A and B are shown apart, each in its own frame.
Chain A
Amino acid sequence: MNTQKLIISFFLFVCFGFSGTAQKTILFSKATVHIGNGKVINQGLVGVKGDEIILVENALTHNIDKAVWDTIIDLKGLDIYPGFIAPNSKLGLTEIDAVRATRDFKEVGTFNPHVRSLIAYNAESDVIGTVKTNGVFYTQATPEGGVISGSSSIMSLNAWNWEDAVLKTDDGIHLNWPNPISGGGWSGKSKSLNENYSTKLKEIRSFFEAAHAYSKSTDIFDQRFEAMRELFTGEKRLYIHGNQMRAILDIIDFQRELNINYPVIVGGYDAHKVTSELVTANVPVIIKGGHTLPSNEDDPIDLPYRLPYLLNEAGVLFCIQNSGRMETMNTRNLPFLAGTAMAYGLNQGEALSAITLNTAKILGIGEIVGSIEVGKKATLFVNNGNALDMRTNNIITGMINGEFIDLTNIQTDLYDKYQEKYKKDQQN
């Protein structure tokens, strides 16, 4: 292990050492390459130039032209993964949950499509440093609150500021669907029938109808509706947060009737009950990862663990997010959510896709990231073992958009500092 680390550090030094104006080429050689689309190349070659992947081949069948590569890193026995993507996240938007001054994800108001998360994204967040080191390289910075919380953006975890962090600006609007049964869980309120459900639905519908009408005109300007325009005319996603069966069915009707181009359901606790409707309507789901309790005491006790498998079997396009309690700092456990899905029915490739390529596809960035394929961003990491198992999630090196990342963070610093202290104490 240690020698390996040393060798790689050396190569990194070489890489950085040579980074000049010309784009250098790097070849990651002979690792097990987990593409992200379900496929694995046992002895793979991954070539990177600048921020782009330019070669993905099988080492057994492909002849390496050593002259082409500035650097060749031999990774035999190791694994390469595409960087993981955390959708529906507050990472970078908050630092310490209990300190109000650090909470920048919830604006005042009911319909806030114009509110944009990206400008609040703190690229220097200490939490980001601890997430990156577990292989999560992109996050969808997502606002919350109200009926329409605002616009999310997809951000890189390796950046100086939000402007160079952004991978996709204002990728979608987040709509919080009312719950047909409200209360329960953390609310401290009893679960009960939501008497206002249909009223709320009408409010949402009329807001969207007005936005839709606005999208066809050009002579007036409305800040809120302007933000909504591309839901009807472009590629902007509409992320509709809902969990209960009735909500999901109503969402499916809603997106069809309002001609939403790219609807996505976020949550989807009951999605397994309406899979054929989801498949027919071609609506993907960003499900909550398995580290959550069943919503109802009668539910199968392993339902959250098994939900990915159930959706996968039914052919629903889905990916995994980790919203919920302590979600920000827990973003680093995203790989283990996929791992748990693997334990409960998915194969390793499918589990990996649920936090890489499928996520990218659902967020509308599938053409540029999410897998190790030629033409995509060089966002990947080298790991010793299965990165979805916490015992073996050990990043040896990683790059985001072609740049090697720092593998230290505030926590490794403190670790080193106190190791040093005890070492000294022992010597004295």
Chain B
Amino acid sequence: METVRIFICISLFSLIQLFVHSQTPIPNNGVKESEPSALVLRNATIIVSPEKTINNASIAIKDGKITAVGKLIRFPEGAVIVDMDGKTIVPSFIESYTNVGLPNVKRKEWSPRPQIESSKDGAFYWNEAIHPEVDAARHFKVDPKASKKLQEMGFNIAVTHINDGIARGNGAIVALGEVPEEKAIIKTKGAAFFSLQKGVSRQTYPSSQMGAIALLRQAIYDAQYYAVNKKELQENLSLNALSEQLNHPIIFVVEDKLEVLRANKIAQEFDLDFVIIGAGNEFEQINDFKEWEQPLVLPIDFPEAYDVGDPYISQQIPLSDLKEWELAPSNPYVLQSNKVDIALTSKGHQDAKTFWKHFHNALERGLSREDAIAALTTTPAKIFGISEQAGTLEKGKIASFSVFDADPFVMKNTTLLESWSMGVKHHTKEVADIDIRGKYRFSLPETSYIIDIKGSAEKPTGTAMSFFKSVDPETKLSTIDTLKSKVNITVDYRDAVFYFDVKDNYNEGVVTLHGNYSQKINAFLGQGQLPDGEWVKWSGIQLSSLENDKDEISKNTISVDTSEVGDIWFPNMAYGFDTIPEEEIYVLRNATLWTNEKEGIIEKGTIILKDGKIDFIGTGNFSIPSRAIEIDCSGMHVTSGIIDEHSHIAISKGVNESGQAVSAEVSIADVVRNDDINIYRQLAGGVTVSHLLHGSANPIGGQSAIIKLKWGYSPQEMLVKDMPKFIKFALGENVKQSNWGDYQTIRFPQTRMGVEQVFYDAFLRAETYKKKWKKYNELSPRQKEKGNISAPAIDLELESIWEVKNSERFISCHSYVQSEINMLMNVADSMGFTVNTFTHILEGYKVADKMAKHGAGGSTFSDWWAYKYEVKDAIPFNANIMQEQGVLVAINSDDAEMGRRLNQEAAKSIKYGGMSEEDAWKMITLNPAKMLHLDDRMGSLKEGKDADVVIWTDNPLSINAQVSKTFIDGELLYDAWKSVDEYYRIQEEKARIISKMLTSNKKGEPKKTFVKKKERHWHCDTIGESKH
């Protein structure tokens, strides 16, 4: 028994070996060709790995693999030996982002009618943007033409995927070039690809970036649930694939630096490792990358210069675009120097020339040779788990590499001579076998000509000189006439053919010559015909070779010089900071203080801001801390910062997730944008806090973000700490799509009647959902195990709605007409919660008593009306009446413009209805703070509250009031005096960069006509997503 078992083991082992080492047999048509014998490339400079380069080295290849590399290697028997003559061999780069060899996905034709459900047949996910089941390997076809582009850039290995949708499916790792189909795929499931772009799907959901984020999160929860409960559930191909992918490398493709952070947030939520393919502007957010642990793949398709020849046009180019143009090539270096493990991708490049130019630009900005090599070879190999096969030129690895005429990490303008993929040589560059350039004397039997050959080795050009000597019969003086003529040259393998005009004492006409060139002695030998048809022998001796231009060499050597490059501003645009203002201690003296507390308005008071808080306020005794900055506020008014209860600034790619009637799962907090100029503009209007609401396109919108307008900070840092949870609800014309055109008549609800039912349905679903969870949570771990009971599915939408019902999440409801206001209060009463805020609430005055009784606040416009039918009864006395009836009232903006003069809007309540100044002021400070459940920290001048403080030049409700300074958390973020200097600083910076661009324009470098980035301003009813 024992021996038999051992025997079987051994034979099994050898069988496995057999399978590992040989290809499965493929029927052969005709006589079988012999396996290629071994090959040795010798006398080359071989870049083995980022750290190791060997000169005068050889590399041996067999069966598509490297068998040996080094200075002294044994050449395999029968190997073909090729002399590389000092050329440089570089390991194949590995491309992370391409769809080479895969079909382009086409978009279905647009229809004005919305497509709410998936149009895809089969057991797939309900949303067409989630298709993790797509396997690139199943669609892959060897495409030599598309491969060639990448090979010319140095990539012989690529991870290719169908670049569409949010969950895109598996990418395949493939060998590029004309490799046999069956050998082309190195790894079928290279990595799963994800993005935040919906792609070709015409399904209405998601219509925004926050929707895309929520959809992906929900899909991951679904996949996790599916994995656990597979036996009980119906087969779903999408979830099956997705659940499997979660255990493997995940590649996430984004379009902006902030999306890198957004993707990372998802990774953290699920404890997944995402390798993110970035956008190229990560440097602008460098502080967020200082602790980055995962590798980051960076594109280097740096922006082209604008055509700035016309000053009328160039003045319109925003500084943000100019600065991005100037600094983008520094992106790889900036990240690398902050210890981020970077890889590079050719994403965005159509041709190799531009790729190399950009690559060298990155090196010139400081990216080291070693890091650059690693970024293209070992790092991507590590990311995709193919370090065993690729990344370096070491024994046992795939014989995929590129051959250059010089080291492309040291020299610019190097030429890629050969690409090798899986041991197969691809000529990507036709190189002349001989380089005949130089100056020669062509000797013919009786005469000789001087031939000067220039141009390129492949297409040489030349001039010939022949000499006609004449003697004046009288003076006996001789003169020599020189004829210069063009020489037509053709190089054909190792021969060259010349023909040219001559005029001398022996020949006149065209001479044609054919000669063989010896590279050893740089000489021609051959035969030719004279103008008269006589055949002659000729020889050509080189007089001087084409001299290597030293300037040319130094010009082509990469050197790092960043002295002319500007600094990154925070944010990297107009009015950005060089560095974030530091926290100081400020003592504001002699001010008129609008406390919003029982002290009312204090004349000649002092307020001290320290450690981000209000440290002292009043007229009593205080000691001035050391290092404090004193500001004399005589004649000035000081207030707490304005809180805008309804704002849509600082949001990326869509304020509405309008794809569904209920979208409680989406959150504005996921898409806060820190480079919106309106943040700065509103700081200048005294706003310190904004409640960023989802739009009003659907009855149950999305979750809100409450931000401090911390200009220069990251989106995460802008979010108010321990932000109370809010959600947007909406009623009326927007949610029933009244003003969206005649085709938008499909989505439920289309009437106010339907709106009510949407709410009841949502709350009842949430209740059922929570019951399930409650039941599960009540089980002991033992009961769970015994009964084999797993947790119910997580539903992000219902989680959020449940929080509303359970009074953990507050509603801010877009509302106009009294009927619907009463309806929602009835719904809330019957469900046992309170509607926190009615926003807009233009007919609030009609039901103010009911609102007060219910406990709802009203956040309204001062005087907007008549812009649609449901606001025809709006009156500017609304705020006053609601206040008189005991409703907590705020005035909001819902508008980037109005947001910067909310003080004026509040003042209108003094005109319309005679509100007191202090009450009017509270409507944009303390009252919204109360509505947002932040009044313990903000909304008034009180010791211990956040130092969100504004200095005004006048009574803040006066038309004459201007903001002098705005502090947030005790930091001076807006200073009117500085803002003027800022403007000149911006102009100087623009002029500096434009002059650089002009130089680039003059050099004839690629340029584009001006197209400005989109800068949309969102309102409640803005639909769809837009690039910012």
Spell out A's residues near B (CB within 8 Å). 95-99, 126-127, 130, 180-181, 183-184, 186, 188-193, 244-246, 291-294, 296-298, 300-302, 326, 328-329, 332-333, 336, 339-340, 342-344, 386, 388-394, 411-412, 414-415, 418-419, 422, 425
Contacts and interface: CB of A to CB of B under 8 A. Distances in A.
21 contacts: A98-B733, A98-B739, A180-B313, A183-B1012, A189-B1014, A191-B1012, A192-B1009, A192-B1010, A192-B1012, A296-B316, A301-B681, A301-B979, A328-B866, A344-B962, A386-B959, A389-B959, A393-B911, A411-B874, A411-B875, A411-B876, A418-B846
A79 to B, nearest CB: 15
B818 to A, nearest CB: 11
A99 B979 CA distance: 42
A411 B573 CA distance: 45
Nearest to B322: A298
Contacts of A193: 313, 1009-1011
Given A298-B986, A411-B876, A326 B1012 contact: no
Contacts of A130: 865
Contact of B913 (A127, A189, A191, A415): A415
A188 B1016 contact: yes
Contact of A97 (B575, B868, B885, B908): B868
Given A96-B868, A291-B901, A293-B681, A390 B1011 contact: no
B904 A418 contact: no
B983 A300 contact: yes
Contacts of A188: 1014, 1016, 1026
Contacts of A328: 866
A103 to B, nearest CB: 12
A95 B866 contact: yes
Contacts of A422: 848-849, 881, 884-885
Contact of A99 (B868, B962, B1012): B868
Contacts of B315: 245
A324 to B, nearest CB: 9
A189 B990 CA distance: 24
A272 to B, nearest CB: 13
Interface string B1010-1024: 111111110000000
Given A192-B1011, A297-B320, A342 B959 contact: yes
Interface in B974-1028: 979-980, 983, 986, 990, 1009-1017, 1026
B990 A298 contact: yes
Interface string B436-450: 000000000000000
B85 interface: no
B19 interface: no
Nearest to B864: A326
Nearest to A386: B959
A306 B1010 CA distance: 28
A390 B876 contact: no
Contacts of A419: 881
Contacts of A332: 863
A385 to B, nearest CB: 10
Nearest to A394: B911
Interface in B854-890: 863-869, 872-877, 881, 884-885
A219 B320 CA distance: 59
A389 B901 CA distance: 13
B16 to A, nearest CB: 60
A226 B848 CA distance: 57
Contact of A390 (B316, B874, B908): B908
B865, B872, B908 — which one has the most chain A CB atoms within 10 A of its CB? B865
B581 to A, nearest CB: 17
A183 B316 CA distance: 12
Given A301-B681, A336-B904, A415-B881, A391 B957 contact: yes
B904 A296 contact: no
A395 to B, nearest CB: 10
Contacts of B1016: 188
A394 B739 CA distance: 36
Interface in B700-736: 733
Given A96-B867, A326-B864, A343-B960, A298 B318 contact: yes
Given A298-B318, A339-B959, 6 more contacts: A98-B733, A188-B1014, A244-B312, A389-B960, A390-B904, A393-B911
A149 B845 CA distance: 40
B306 to A, nearest CB: 10
Contacts of B980: 300
B174 interface: no
Contacts of A300: 979-980, 983
Contacts of B320: 297
Contact of B1010 (A126, A181, A301): A181
A391 B383 CA distance: 64
A188 to B, nearest CB: 6
